[in-house]
Structure 1
Amino acid sequence: MVDPVVHIANLTIQHGKDSVLQDLNWQIFPGEQWILGGPSGTGKTTLAKAIVGQLKYEGTISFHLDNNSSLPPVVHYVSNWFQFTNLEGDRNFYYQQRYNKFAKNDTLTVFAELKHFAKDEQLAFEDVAPYLTIFGFENFKDQQLIELSSGEHKRLQLVKALWLQPQVLVIDQPYTGLDVQSRKDLNQIFDQLADKGVSLLLISNDDEQPDCINRFAEIQNGKIVLRHHSREISRGIPRKRKELPYFLQQPPKISDPTMVKMRQINISYGEKQVLKNIDWEVKAGEKWLLQGHNGSGKSTLLSLINGDHPQAYANDIHLFGKKRGSGESIWEIKEHLGIISPELHWYYDMNANVGQTIASGFFDSMSLYQKLGYEQQQKLDQVLHFFDLKDAKHKTLGSLPLGQQRLALLARTIVKHPELLILDEPCQGLDKEQSQYFNDVIDDLSKNGQTLIYVGHFQSQLPTCIDNKMVLEKGEIKSVERVIHKKETLST
C-alpha cells in the first residue's frame, strides 16, 4: 500500500473562543493534485499554515517524503502576502516608502534575495533564469524588495517556489495580482511540475486551473469535504443588495471639472524609466478603467495622483484644479479622494479594530487617532450596516478572513464620500460573490456622479459603469478608448 505524502489526523485549531478546524482528517497521495476552495473564512489558510508548521494545533500532521527523489524532500508554502523584512530583520516600513528614494531603503535587492534563497536551498543560480523570464523579472534584479508592487511580490514568491520544485508545494491564492498572460504561464508550469512528481495544493476559488488538477475539496464546519469537480465547491452566499446610506446617495462635492490633468509625465528610478510621456485627463463624473501587465506602471501613475510619489513635484500635474507643488499639502490632496490598493492593505495596522479601520478613512490615516464627531459616527454606523460588518466592529482587522479585511478597507475608502475614488485591484482576495457585491456598490455610487479610476484585469471582476479605458505597456500609453459595449471590451 502506498503511503500518503501528507497525512492529517484529528487536526483541531482554535482562534480565541472560535473553533476554526475541528477533528479534521485528510490524506494526500502521490500523483494527486489538489484544489482547496470554498467561501472566505472557512479555514483554508489556517490549514495551509498548520501543514507547514506556522500555527500551533492539536492532532497530528505527518509527511512521507522520498529521500531518493530528484526533487528536494521539502514542503514549501507560498502565502497570499509576502512578509519581507529589512536588513535588520524588522518590518518597520511605511506606506509611501517604496516611492521615496530619499528615505532609507534598507531591504535586500531582488538579486540578493534570490542569492540568499539559492544558498539556503542549495540551488544552482542559473536555473532560475527561465522563471525570471516567464514572469518578466529580468529587469528587476537591482530593485529593493520594498520598491516592488504587490503583483511583483507575488511573482517573486512564485519564482522561488517553482525554482525550488519541492515534493509538496502549497500555494495560497496562486493567481493573486497576476495578469491574464502570467496566469496562463503559471498553469503551464504547474502542469510541468506535476509531471515531475510535485504534489500541488492550491488554495483557490478561481474558475481557471491547471490541467493537472485531479482532486477537489473544501472545508465545512471545520472538516474536509471532498468534491468531484471544482464546480461542486461551495461559493459564498450572495449578498442582498441594500439601499446606499443616505449620505452616499447625494452627489459628491466637486472642486473642479477636471480632477486630474497630466502633461508629458516622466518618472525614473535611476536608469530605469517607469513612466514615459504620459498625457491624461480625468474629468468629473468619468469612470476610468486602468489596465496593463504587471510592472507596466499603473501603481506609479496612481501614486502621482494620491500624493504619495515625491517625483510628482517635478512633473506637470494638476489635481482638483491646482498645480501640484503650488503650496498644497499631501493631506489637502487626500481630502478629495479615497483609495484602496493591495499595498495600502499590506501596510495597514492589523491591530486596529474594524470600526477604527473604517473611521480612519475620515482622516486618511493608517489607524484611528482622533475622536469622531456625531455626524461621522452616524456615517460609520450606516456603512457598518451596509457592509454587514456590525458584528465585527470590535474585532481586530488581522483576526478577520482576508475577504472581510478587504471589505472593511473598501468601506474605509467610501466613508468620507470623496469626489474621486481610486480602486487599485479592489477585489483582490475577495471571492466571486464578494467581488460582485462590491462592484454593485460602485455601480450604485456611479449613478450619483462619482468619478472613478479602477484598476482591474478580469471581466468578471469589473463594475459595469466604466466608460473610459486606458492601457499602459512598459510605462507608455498603449491605448485610450471610450467603452461602449462595456462587459465585452473591458477584459485584457
Structure 2
Amino acid sequence: MANPIVHIANLNLQYAGTTVLCDLNWRIYPGEHWIIGGKSGSGKSSLAKAMVKQEKASGEIIFRFDQSNPMLAQAYYVANWYQFANLEGDRNFYYQQRYNKQQRNDTLTVYADLIHFGKKQQLDFRDAEPILEALGFGNCRETQLIELSSGEHKKLQLVQALWLRPQLLILDEPYTGLDKRSRENFNSLLDDMANAGTTLVLISNDRNIPDAINRFAHIENGQLHAVSHLDEIKQDEQRQRKPFPYFLQQAPLVDHDTMVELRNVSVRYGEKEVLKNISWQVKAGEKWLLQGPNGSGKSTLLSLLNGDHPQAYATDIFLFGKKRGSGESIWDIKQKIGIISPELHWYFDKNATVWHAIASGFYDSVGWFIQVKYEEKKQIEQLLDFFDLLQDKDKLLHTLPLGKQRLALLARTIIKNPQLLILDEPCQGLDRSQTAHFNAVLDELSGYGKTLIYVGHYESQLPACLDNRLVLEKGEVVISERREKNSIAG
C-alpha cells in the first residue's frame, strides 16, 4: 500500500478546559477525498485547524507531499469566516462600518487583495480569471472588502484556495452563503482539482458535495470514525419541542397594516448601482422569502429596512406607516424589528456571553451595555430554557458550537417580540436536524401574528410558513409574487 499523504497519531486537543480531540488517529491515502461531518461542537473545525497549526494540539501530524505532483506541496486551510484587515492591519470592524463612505475606503478592494495574495504566493493573475467567472465574482473586483456580503467573502476565500492549487485542501464550511449556481460551479472546480492531484478534505454537513468525495467520517468522543456512506454520518439529535414562552404567544402590537413599503428605491456607490427602482410592499402578518444570487442586492435592501444604511434617508421608504426621515430616530425603527444575519453574527461582540447576547436584543446593540429590568430578565431565562441554553448562559457566545450560537442569536432576535422579523440566511452551517428544529420554531412562531422576511437560497431548507417571494437579480426585482401557503418550501 502507498504511504499516506497525511498521518495523524494520538492527537489531543483541549479548548476552554474541555477535551475536544482525544488520541485521534487518521490516515489519508492518495486518491482519497474526505468529508468530515457530524454533531455540532464535536471537534471538526478544531481538527482542521490543528492540522495547519492554528490550534495547539499534542500528538503527531505528518504530511508526505509528492514532489512529482504538479500541485503545490502544501496543506491549505480555508476557515469558516474570512478575516480581513484594513490598510493599517486592523481587524476590528463594527457592524455598520461597511456603509460608512469614508471608512469603506479604509480596506482593500477585492482586486487589490487578490493581487497581494498572488504576489505573496507567486501566482499569475490570469490563472484566477476563470475561477472568478465560474463563481460569478468577476464584477466585484473594485468592491471594498468591508462592503462584501457573507457569500461574497466566502467566494473570495475560495478563489484564493482554488488559484493556489495545493496538494491538500481543507475547506471548513465551504458552502456558507453560496447561491445555487455558485455552489454547482464550485463543486465542478473541486472535481477538476481532485483529478489534477489535490486531496480534498471538506468540513461540512451539506448534502450536495463534489463527485470526487469518496470517504466519509464524523468525530465522536474526540475520535474520528469512518463510515461507508454520507447518510451514516451522525447528526445532532432532534430536540424535544417545548411550549413557547407566554410573551411570544402574544401577537405583537402593530401600529400600521403595512410594515414595509419601497417606492422606486435605488442605491448607488459611485458608478455602481446596487439597487435599481425597487418597489415592494410587506403587509402585517405576511411571510416573505427574499432570494437572489450573491451580489444581487439582498443585503443592501435589508440594511435599508433596518436603518443601518445612510441612503435610507434619501429614498422613498416607508416603515410601519412612516416615511424614513420624517422625525423618527433609528432606535424607534429598530425597536420594532428583530434581525439576524451573517454580518451581525460576524461582527458581534467577542466579549458577550450567551446571556448578554440575548439581553442585547432589547436595546439593539451588538453587545450588552445596559442594565435590564426584572421582567426582561424573566424573558431571557424563559428563552434560555426554551432553546436549551441554560447550561451555556455564562459562556462566551463565540466559544459555543455554531448551532448553539445561531439559536442564541435567534433568541436575541425575538426577545422583544418585534413587529417585523428579518432573518438573513439564519441556517448557514447548520446540519439537517438543526435546520429542521430552527425552521419548526419559526413556523410555530409565525402563527402568533409575526411578520417575517426570510433570506434563503435552498428550497429544501426553508420554513413552511413562507407564502410570498421576492427575487432580486443585479439589483432589480425579477419576481414578486404572493403564493398559496406552503407552495414555496420544498
Give TM class, smaller chain: over 0.9
Separation in 1 of the partners of 2:59 and 2:85? 32
Corresponding residue pairs, total:
490
Shift in Å, 1:67: 2.6
Separation in 2 of the partners of 1:104 and 1:478? 29
Number of the residue aligned with 2:450: 450
Secondary structure of the equivalent of 1:73?
strand
Separation in 2 of the partners of 1:304 and 1:111? 27
8 A contact 2:149–2:299 mirrored in 1 = yes
Q: How does 1:332-481 map to 2 (within 5 A)?
A: 332-481=332-481
Separation in 2 of the partners of 1:331 and 1:270? 28
Number of the residue aligned with 2:310: 310
What's the TM-score once normalised by structure 2's chain length? 0.98
Q: How does 1:46-85 map to 2 (within 5 A)?
A: 46-85=46-85
Separation in 1 of the partners of 2:38 and 2:103? 42
Number of the residue aligned with 1:322: 322
What's the TM-score once normalised by structure 1's chain length? 0.98
Separation in 2 of the partners of 1:437 and 1:45? 23
Number of the residue aligned with 1:225: 225
Secondary structure of the equivalent of 1:190?
helix
Number of the residue aligned with 1:290: 290
Shift in Å, 1:88: 1.4
Separation in 1 of the partners of 2:68 and 2:255? 69
> What is the CA deviation profile of residues 115-154 of structure 1, one whole-angstrom value per residue up to 9, with x for unaligned ones?
1111111111111000110111221111110010000000
8 A contact 1:261–1:282 mirrored in 2 = yes
8 A contact 2:342–2:425 mirrored in 1 = yes
Alignment-mate amino acid for residue 356 of structure 1: H
Separation in 2 of the partners of 1:27 and 1:131? 30
Shift in Å, 1:378: 0.5
Number of the residue aligned with 1:171: 171
> What is the CA deviation profile of residues 13-47 of structure 1, one whole-angstrom value per residue up to 9, with x for unaligned ones?
01132100000000111110001010111000000
Secondary structure of the equivalent of 2:111?
helix
Number of the residue aligned with 2:272: 272
Question: Which structure 2 segments of 5+ residues have no match?
Answer: none
8 A contact 1:216–1:227 mirrored in 2 = yes
Question: Which structure 1 segments of 5+ residues have no match?
Answer: none
Give structure 1 regions of 4+ aligned residues with deviation exceeding 6 angstroms. none
Structure 1 residue 134 and structure 2 residue 160: aligned?
no
Number of the residue aligned with 1:263: 263
> What is the CA deviation profile of residues 140-187 of structure 1, one whole-angstrom value per residue up to 9, with x for unaligned ones?
111110010000000110011011110000001111101111111111
8 A contact 1:239–1:437 mirrored in 2 = yes
> What is the CA deviation profile of residues 452-483 of structure 1, one whole-angstrom value per residue up to 9, with x for unaligned ones?
00000112221111111111111000011122
Separation in 2 of the partners of 1:246 and 1:104? 43
8 A contact 2:205–2:430 mirrored in 1 = no
Alignment-mate amino acid for residue 430 of structure 1: L
Number of the residue aligned with 1:87: 87
Alignment-mate amino acid for residue 398 of structure 1: H
Q: More deviation in 396-405 or 336-345?
A: 396-405
Structure 1 residue 100 and structure 2 residue 100: aligned?
yes
8 A contact 1:97–1:105 mirrored in 2 = no
Shift in Å, 1:100: 2.0
Structure 1 residue 37 and structure 2 residue 37: aligned?
yes
Number of the residue aligned with 1:192: 192
Shift in Å, 1:104: 5.2
Secondary structure of the equivalent of 1:237?
coil
Separation in 2 of the partners of 1:150 and 1:479? 23
Separation in 2 of the partners of 1:394 and 1:274? 41
Shift in Å, 1:420: 0.2
Separation in 1 of the partners of 2:34 and 2:470? 37
Shift in Å, 1:105: 3.1
> What is the CA deviation profile of residues 377-414 of structure 1, one whole-angstrom value per residue up to 9, with x for unaligned ones?
00000000000000000001121111111111111000
Alignment-mate amino acid for residue 268 of structure 1: R
Secondary structure of the equivalent of 1:463?
coil
8 A contact 1:406–1:429 mirrored in 2 = no
Q: How does 1:110-125 map to 2 (within 5 A)?
A: 110-125=110-125
Separation in 2 of the partners of 1:204 and 1:103? 34
Alignment-mate amino acid for residue 18 of structure 1: T
Separation in 2 of the partners of 1:199 and 1:274? 38
Percent of residue pairs bearing the same amino acid type = 60
Separation in 1 of the partners of 2:411 and 2:460? 21
Shift in Å, 1:485: 6.0
Shift in Å, 1:490: 4.3
Secondary structure of the equivalent of 1:23?
strand
Separation in 2 of the partners of 1:349 and 1:225? 35
Separation in 1 of the partners of 2:347 and 2:465? 30
Q: More deviation in 426-435 or 383-392?
A: 426-435
Secondary structure of the equivalent of 1:216?
strand
Separation in 1 of the partners of 2:445 and 2:410? 13
Secondary structure of the equivalent of 2:152?
helix
> What is the CA deviation profile of residues 198-234 of structure 1, one whole-angstrom value per residue up to 9, with x for unaligned ones?
0000011111111111111110100010100111111
Separation in 1 of the partners of 2:187 and 2:70? 22
Separation in 2 of the partners of 1:282 and 1:104? 31
8 A contact 2:256–2:320 mirrored in 1 = yes
